[in-house]
A and B are shown apart, each in its own frame.
Chain A
């Protein structure tokens, strides 16, 4: 059940209606059932995987609550990690590693006679696995009290708004909201509706609108020009941002309608001036997860320059691999790790240039934003490409075919051409005001004009060809 569908609208309205009629305990049970229906709509068989993760982590955490011996605690944690990463390994990475090993062996003249398994990737497995892992790790670290309410814990794991594409919530943030009665304020409701509308606008008008143009070029193999590659990559930068942040907005908006507050996942990432800032703005729930559960445990930046770089590279390569079982994601991770390492000596305490500054500073910042946007776009080329051959060919053409402006990229639909400037304007307002809720201070006519413009362009965009959310495949 996609967020950008009539089915989801009906589902959410039904859940909301039931939710408002029930007391807290029944609300949680109803949300659990609704979440299972939501997930089961893709493939009910994979509910069993989520149940395994839920039961193991619930049991491990309860046992950790009483276990004192370090050996037992470590063994329990290991059991949780092995279960979750084991499921992820089998369902997401088995074929990738098996075929990569076979390729490697054949390079040395050895033929490995096995076949890859016909495994369907369960939607959202990377998200809920990381979410539930963070719970047992936090309990192990004694940073969080284990809960003995199984159904509430199951709801934390499977909460439908953020189940299949995040944000990857921390138990310390979401679980208390599950456990305690929630109140739904008028502000939450209106903000929730706005977030859903804005998320749909990003997804339907922009992401779906440019998808065909991007696919045409990236599916064309090597029959493209410099301008095709550049334009398709710019458009992919827009697509992936609007697709993923649009999903996150709808997730946050849906949760707000139900009285939950889930974390912000994107903060204007293309306004970043450097890779460090980019990762504080892009997919925040993953980058902070990787920081807290991988980079820091590896030693972070506390054991010298060489180890810091090693830790950065390890974290980003695994972060890249998290996105998908393919070598281009590994390469993208290496690229992200490399630019973080290159940038590190020049970083000034990790502070961003304040948006309100002198004209010269702002001009400098704008220049940095533009330059870094192009660095990011090269990363998106690695991310979007379908093969190493394509990456090599496109990278070569960016240099050898430089300035060839002939292009066969299809023009995005009219709604998208209107929607992109509107999006840029709204993001610029958010950046300038320093808050995503800048519009709430506007007078009623101005707000009405904004809502009407969003609605009108959204309705125009409803005829864009719909496409699956990109991050569902991760």
Chain B
């Protein structure tokens, strides 16, 4: 009996010792986590200067900061205190005065390009291989099709372009129900805004954001009476808006919270993307699909009405195989709309076609450019003069 008691007591004491040791280890764990959190903030502070380029680790620990927490680092009260990305992509025609309105040579061709960097690369390429061409480019980083379409609509009649290129980036189709790059690109928000289009009785109807230019954004950021209605509009209409990701909180100061928020943003992005597409391609049932088809049709019809050659540029970027082509080719073919799909020249499942940031390599872009150039030259209503003279200049 005594033996039993002593063994029970020894076992209880062993359990207590282990419990104490585990509590100590747990406290040390918390201590080290706090230390690591502080260390991440101290060692990798995000540069205060909006023109400084943060290194990859500074960016890494910043990704999860709330959108409202990131905006003051991007948008300053003046141009000098605003980061370059803050100026990009605004659908403000007053910003486009620097873009050419006519070709430099009388017998040349002005090509208006609406989209994103992929579209700019293709347009520059066409101009580089054929000096008769000049490009008027209106674009925004990773801009969704609704941005490109709105840019085209706003720019109608502003130039003597003979060709209009509407670029559709496969990975940005998910942004068709967003009003701004602030929500769609959580990790590195792009402040520019654009409308959402919806089909009403077969026609495209735009829902414009309340903030439409950089000065308006500056004003809104400084004035809650303007900012709050804009956020309210995002919460109602923008599919990517989430208060947990958007709203600034004191927890922004914690690197750990930022990492968790970033993970949550990615899960949410994946869920939205999966609602639009699966391994086989875009889903016919997705609400954006009829809108996108209506956009390319409307774009082509109005181009033709304006005497321009419409070209739709389908960018099947990394991870999207030929999905965009399969989604839109039937519409484009049936409407006789000229198009270039990158999957033919630079298959998205070949990693050798892409550089680290996801853009096409020069070689892949050259293939695409050659195809686009041939398509435009063939499609122009008035044949181009031989370019021999121009090339000799």
Residues of the B chain whose Cβ atoms lie less than 8 Å from the Cβ of A409: 351
- Bits for A17-47, please: 1 = Cβ < 8 Å to B, else 0: 0000000000000000000000000000000
What per-residue 1/0 map shows which CB atoms of B244-275 lie under 8 Å from chain A?
00000000000010011011001100100000
Query: Main secondary structure on chain A at its contact with chain B?
Result: helix
The chain A residue with its CB closest to the CB of B15 is A186
Closest residue on chain B to residue A458 by CB atoms: B259
Pick the interface stretch among B21-29, B117-125, B142-150, B222-230.
B21-29
B259: which of A187, A190, A444, A462 is its contact (CB, 8 Å)? A462
Give the chain A neighbours of B267 by CB distance below 8 A: 466
Which of B15, B36, B266 contacts A456, CB < 8 Å? B36
Say yes or no: A217-B351 contact (C-beta < 8 A), given A452-B33, A459-B260, A465-B266.
yes
Shortest C-beta distance, B136 to chain A (Å), equals 34
At the interface, yes or no: A449 with Cβ under 8 Å from chain B? Answer: yes
Instruction: Determine if B351 and A220 form an interchain contact, defined as CB atoms under 8 angstroms apart.
Output: yes
Chain B contacts of A186 at CB under 8 A? 15, 18-19, 22
A397 within 8 A of partner (CB): no
How many A-B contacts if CB must be within 8 Å?
Answer: 90
Any chain B CB within 8 A of the CB of A354?
no
State how many angstroms separate the Cβ of A466 from the closest Cβ of chain B.
Answer: 8
What residue in chain B is nearest A6 (Cβ atoms)?
B267
CB of A410 closer than 8 Å to a CB of B: yes
Determine the chain A residues whose CB is within 8 A of the CB of B260 once the complex forms. Answer: 459, 462
Residue of B nearest to A413 (CB): B60
Chain A nearest Cβ from B353, distance in angstroms: 8
B residues near A217, Cβ cutoff 8 Å: 351
Q: Are A456 and B351 within 8 A (Cβ)? A: no
Asked if B349 lies at the interface with its beta carbon under 8 angstroms from chain A, I say: yes
Whether A187 lies near B18 (C-beta < 8 A) is yes
Given A414-B60, A459-B259, A463-B259, A444 contacting B25 (CB threshold 8 A): yes
Shortest beta-carbon distance from B277 to chain A in Å: 15
- Contact call B259/A452, Cβ cutoff below 8 A: no
Are B352 and A456 closer than 8 Å at their CB atoms? Answer: no
CA distance A221 to B26 in the complex (A): 48
Closest to B354 in A: A408
Q: Which residues in B have their C-beta under 8 angstroms from that of A223?
A: 350-352
CA distance A439 to B81 in the complex (A): 51
Which chain A residue shows the least CB distance to B350?
Answer: A223
- B208 interface residue (CB < 8 Å to A): no
A456 touches B60 (CB 8 A): no
User: Do residues A465 and B351 form an inter-chain contact, with CB atoms below 8 A?
Assistant: no
| A463 near B350: Cβ-Cβ < 8 Å | no
Please indicate which of the listed interface residues A221, A409, A459 has the most CB atoms of chain B within 10 Å of its own CB. Answer: A459
> In the complex, how many angstroms separate the beta carbon of A10 from the nearest chain B beta carbon?
15
Bound form: Cα–Cα A264–B29 in Å: 27
- Most chain A beta-carbon contacts within 10 A, residue among B15, B25, B263: B25
The answer to whether residues A448 and B32 also contact, given A190-B22, A460-B259, A465-B266 and a CB cut-off of 8 A, is: yes
B26 touches A448 (CB 8 A): yes
Contact B263 A463 (CB under 8 A): yes
**Nearest CB on B from A211, distance (A):** 13
B63 CB contacts on chain A under 8 angstroms: 463
Q: Which residues of the partner chain B approach A408 to less than 8 Å between Cβ atoms?
A: 351-352, 354
**Does A451 have its Cβ within 8 Å of any Cβ on chain B?**
yes
Residue of A nearest to B258 (CB): A459
The answer to whether A448 and B36 have CB atoms under 8 Å apart is no
Nearest CB on A from B269, distance (A):
10
Tell whether A112 is near chain B: CB-to-CB under 8 Å.
no
Selected from B30, B60, B262, B349, the residue in CB contact (under 8 A) with A219 is: B349
Evaluate contact between A448 and B25: CB separation under 8 angstroms: yes
A463 touches B262 (CB 8 A): yes
Q: A444-B24, A459-B259, A463-B263 are in contact. Are A220 and B15 (CB under 8 A)?
A: no
Q: Kindly list 4 other residue pairs between chains A and B, CB separation below 8 angstroms, not including A447-B29, A451-B26.
A: A220-B352, A228-B351, A452-B30, A456-B33
- Which 8 A-B pairs give the minimum distances between C-beta atoms? A448-B28, A452-B32, A462-B263, A444-B24, A408-B351, A451-B29, A447-B25, A463-B263
Residues of chain A at the chain B interface (Cβ within 8 Å): 186-187, 190, 216-217, 219-221, 223-224, 228, 408-411, 414, 444-445, 447-449, 451-453, 455-456, 459-460, 462-463, 465-466
